[in-house]
Chain A
Amino acid sequence: MKKNWWQDKFNLFMVAVAFFTFLFMMTAVATLMIKGLPQIGKALAAPEIQFAIRLSLYTSLISTAFCIVIAIPVAYVLARMDIPMKSFFNTLLDLPLALPPVVSGLCLLIIFGTTAFGAWLEEIDLSFVFTVKGIIMAQIFVNLPFMIRVMKSTILSVNPRLEFIARTLGCTPAQAFWKITLPLSKNGIIAGTVITWARALGEFGAALMLAGATRFRTETLPISLFLNMSTGDLEGAMAAANLLIIISIISLYIFNKFGGDFIGGTRGV
């Protein structure tokens, strides 16, 4: 930027907008943390928060694991294979990203709550409506497209000729994938995993629709925040909120550390 930028009205205006934007964002988060953090010790001792933390960790870890395992093959197909209607599938994948989570949740509720398929799942003891499994399902549904996107751009950044060279050296397609493409996608997998996990921890709308908000049953951290707010327990709400903020900051840090160069995944090492 020029040295005497403040002498120009236009520059001054732009900088002012930027300044107040950052100020507002910082104040909003900081106020909550200043008010909530001192009480976090007490809040952590409450059995309800402990339950919410446990349930959040449990559901988010499982849903993240599912997202990884499903996203890698899907991303591989989209990145490497010549399939018909590829752009249609790409758009379809982006849809849940644009959809409000409550709408996604309603979609899931309709499938699992009102169809013969849902009834059949119930029979084999896979019930998703108003259950913990429902929370996991909601998190997967909302986050999977996101994970697929990260993995797709990661795999695209790995030179396909490397995999092919591995083939000429004797690898089967599966071996070439395991020995070349997957290790070279490591940073993308880490970044995608961390951000997916953080998003799963914070998943609210879809989980609320499918699994409901029942204390000590489907009460994750964001649901706990919501329940405490609606009963006027601001302190409890702030405790949950602060935990979520801390987790977000840490995971953003990790995401940037690894995600920063997963576009250049072919260089690695």
Chain B
Amino acid sequence: MIRFADVSIKLGDFSLKNVNLEIKEGEFFTILGPTGTGKTVILELIAGLYRPDAGKVFINGVDAENIPPERREIGFVYQDYALFPHLNVYKNIAFGPQLGKIPSPIIKERVKDLADMLGISHLLKRFPGTLSGGEQQRVSLARAFIMKPRILLLDEPFGALDPNTKRMLCRELKKMHLQYRYTVVHVTHDFNEAGMLADRIGIILEGRVRQVGVSREVFENPLDQKVASFLGAEPLKTVFAG
């Protein structure tokens, strides 16, 4: 469980104001919002890149301030993938396990399984700089998945994919989520993607959480004018078509 209690943080000119948010254990939570509203910053607060100026972030009831990022059991898939450019795909994926005492044949097997699942087994020897956006995205997913994190942070994980691959990966992701029941915090500006994946949705506008609720509810009953006009940017009918 992740809980934001009155969290505020100022980064340069941007500020996130008094965020209160509760994400339940095992839930697929989607943060929806226009660009530049602090979605990535929220994920980074969960992962521990920043500490709040005011308020607290709790992870499983513990004040996260006392847990360094490496002990938060978090998998982070960044918007720009953030692959390690000096390591090939295999070493990127195996990076986490190789830090521990896991024997390398076991690591090899796990990398292979994940790579097969994500359709990147032919890329293992390549370097990130030579991959397409979609390929990098899948490597980034694999690198996070392999740690079997308790919390998965996905920052626009399907941004660079064509609609078919996207649908396929969405389904795969949903299936894995149902199977392993880790908590997912997922950021997107794609309403379809949100409708397809989310258990609950949080709408964030201009550094504030405006509305949180079960996804259908949020789409059908926007809390106020601002949320309505943000959601109104796309026809609502398409959202639940898929």
Contact = CB atoms under 8 A, between A and B. Distances in A.
Interface of A: 159, 161-162, 164-172, 175, 179-180, 183-184, 186, 266-269
A165 B82 contact: yes
Nearest to A265: B85
Given A168-B70, A170-B100, A172-B70, A268 B86 contact: yes
Contacts, number: 62
Contacts of B72: 168
Given A165-B78, A267-B129, A269-B129, A170 B86 contact: no
B68 interface: yes
A164 B99 contact: no
B75 interface: yes
B76 interface: yes
Contacts of B69: 164, 167-168
B76 A168 contact: yes
Contacts of A186: 86
B92 to A, nearest CB: 10
A170 B82 contact: no
Interface in B31-61: 44, 47-49
22 contacts: A161-B80, A165-B76, A165-B84, A166-B84, A166-B95, A167-B70, A168-B47, A168-B69, A168-B74, A169-B95, A169-B96, A169-B147, A170-B70, A170-B99, A171-B70, A171-B99, A180-B84, A183-B86, A184-B86, A267-B85, A269-B127, A269-B129
Contacts of B49: 161, 164
Given A167-B69, A168-B69, A269 B82 contact: no
B3 interface: no
Given A168-B75, A269-B129, A175 B99 contact: yes
A30 B25 CA distance: 75
A170 B68 contact: no
B143 interface: yes
Question: Interface size for chain B: under 10, 10 to 19, 20 to 34, or 35 or more residues?
Answer: 20 to 34
Contacts of B76: 165, 168
Given A167-B70, A269-B127, A161 B78 contact: yes
Contacts of B86: 183-184, 186, 268-269
B82 A161 contact: yes
A159 B86 CA distance: 13
B143 A169 contact: yes
Contacts of A267: 85, 129
Question: Which of B74, B82, B147 has the largest number of chain A CB atoms within 10 A?
Answer: B82
Given A162-B84, A180-B84, A184-B86, A170 B96 contact: yes
Contacts of A175: 99
Question: Which of A165, A183, A268 has the largest number of chain B CB atoms within 10 A?
Answer: A165
A269 B95 CA distance: 17
A169 B129 contact: no
Contacts of A171: 70, 99
What 10 A-B pairs come out closest when comparing CB atoms? A169-B96, A167-B69, A170-B99, A168-B76, A268-B85, A161-B82, A269-B127, A165-B82, A170-B70, A183-B86
Given A170-B70, A171-B99, A179-B95, 13 more contacts: A161-B82, A162-B84, A164-B69, A168-B48, A168-B72, A169-B70, A169-B95, A170-B147, A172-B68, A172-B70, A267-B85, A267-B129, A268-B86
A183 B87 CA distance: 10
Question: Which of B69, B99, B100, B147 has the largest number of chain A CB atoms within 10 A?
Answer: B69
Contacts of B74: 168
B240 to A, nearest CB: 34
Contacts of B48: 167-168
A162 B96 contact: no
